[in-house]
Chains A and B, each alone.
Chain A
Amino acid sequence: MSAPLSATDGLDICADIVERARAAGADEAEAYFEAATNRVVDARGGSIESLTTAGTRGVGVRVLVNGALGFASGSDLDPAGRADLAEQAVWLARASAPDPSRVLPDPAPISAADLGIFDPAVPELSVQEIVSLLTRTEQAAFAADTRIDAPHIERFGQTVERIAVANSRGIALTTAATSCYISLSIIARQDGLAERGYAGVVARGPGGLVPEEIGRRAALRAVTPMGGAPLTTRRATVVFEPDIIADLLRGVSQALFGDAVVKGRSLFAARNGDEPWIGRRIGAATVTFVDDGTVSGAPATLPFDGEGVPSQRTPLIEQGVLRGFLHNVESGRQAGAGSTGNGTRSQFKFLPEVGGTNLILSPGTRSPEELIAGVDEGLYVVSSRNVGGINPVSGDYSVGASGRRISNGELAEPVSGVTLAAPMLQVLENLRECGSDLRWISGAGGYVGAPTVVVDDVTIGGR
């Protein structure tokens, strides 16, 4: 059941597949290997509900034949399976149209610094230790508020993985990483009303999991909208919890993906006759936003990306001025720039697509409490529902939200069932202040490091 995690295993398999692909007719070839052992524990009230354990492996093979791309992936890695993958990739490439921007990267020096991405404590965790982490999380939620009634889902998950990537230009890289997470969904009840609150954390090792904080945050999200009603429709100042602004920042980052910009699927796509976006002011001076795949111990940090390009720090917005886009090898070539080390792969099954690593909004100096105290009239948002209303092409931002009204710098009555809407760029322009409480937020489309923020002039849709 255990995946092989020796450094040479993955590299040997990759090298063999690259060679087979070349023999099958590929001009260039790349193999990306992933082996993982996973464990998931679900518990409630201190007892285990289910425990899942597994070891899996897989390879994705990318080839170029006369400048055309083919890709095949699979988990059957015996010699016959490898030969199949290599041949299928070549067969698909032969049927595709050539594209001059399709190249594989050349080897480049990879930093030898310890990035803090492998914590040997992860594979050593006992089931008892895991259950105890979950119990602490649950207890913190119960301690936070008397209205907390029952846990809905408590989950711990861990992964120990080995990644290897090799190509016919001489790249041969491998690394190992660990990660673990806790997520808690908890139910609050009062006077026949019920609400659910969710919180989660992802870290490289158990030391980065903060069960008490997760329990408290889930409880806060469950009880805050309790008995709340929609406000009347208005425009007002909104204080966003880090998780809420993180969704908007992901939307902004998607508009900064080089492939979207090149293909015109972005707010920041070049338009005839307009001044270039780079160098333009697009937000308040409070907004500094970077993508950094090298932050030690951060959730998306790796020495190299899914194509074997070194990870780096890329400034996106500096004090409100747009400074850069994110690229993989292909979009970098199309844009006449280079790869920024953002050829991300969520799994071996996928081609290296442009994606964020650790996306960070620079924090300010004041606590969330101080930020709220500075708002005369507005809304403090602690949970939101993003359902595709964040559009990196049109720049629209629209989500469902709940929280508490702010009146004269104090939290007032609960609010639920409202919507927030504003053009994305208007949010950046009206971002009055960032708080000091930066934290990592996981989610589809990159890890975001964000603090609490205050934004003026947001439309609140309600009664």
Chain B
Amino acid sequence: MQGKPSATWFLLPIWWEDYFIVANRAHSLWNFFKRQTKKGKSKKYLNTKKLKQKRMNPFFLIPIVVVIAGVVFMIIMNKKLKTAKAEINLDSERTKYEQYKQELLTQDFSKVKQWMKGGNIDAITSASVPQTTSNKIQELVTDGLKNVALSTIGVKLKRIETDCFWVLSRNDLHFFSTDTVGNLDEHIVFDNFRIEEAKLQYGGILKSQLGVYSKSSEEYLPITHIITFNIDGSPLSLEIHDRLNYTVDPTDMLNMKKQLETRAKYQIVGEKFVSILQNKFPNLKTA
């Protein structure tokens, strides 16, 4: 893993701002409470209170403490991240492709194995529906579904934001899309003859719909290839990621080593997809 600054550093200003707001609000509430109680208290009591008010309010100390704790936390986490990164050698890990693939198919992605209903899984990776494809399908729907074959496949690809997967199974490419809770939404099979007519091109780093992402987290973003099928004369493009999509498990939030090891496995299994596909279908080899 290449050494880059931790992606969590940029959160610091946000935390500071949040704590500052919370502290201010708490202070206002405290003053309000005091004003309310002032009316019913004796003068003697009020005099004692006035003396106390001259002291510094302890709520203003909270952000300072939080910032210091945050900085210490960041330093510790960053150190842990660097150590964990140094311990992972991607090149040697890549030799364990088959082992990792089986491991992920029986654990993290066992649902894909279920969807394949016992079918062979030669390679697996994440996928996505490009915005352009989604737009084109929308146009087809609006135009009264002119191309029947494309619309049959197209209407199944209306989601662009949920998890999708590619599986290469012998001569077929299986595209799975999921719903918002991760259950299978659609299963589309592109057979050997469609793949033989398809084209593959480099698609660059996958950007979110708004194209906004932190520079420091760029190394975790998938690089895509775009495969374009000819569906009875109409092109249909879909994205192939170079890794399986990884979402940090909340229970592993502080376990940097586990996070990086899992990321590495997801990358090793996913990045092999395109080369396996190209070996099977030489027409997909890019220049």
Indicate whether A and B interact. no
Question: Taking beta carbons and an 8 Å cutoff, which residues of A are in contact with B?
Answer: none
Question: Taking beta carbons and an 8 Å cutoff, which residues of B are in contact with A?
Answer: none
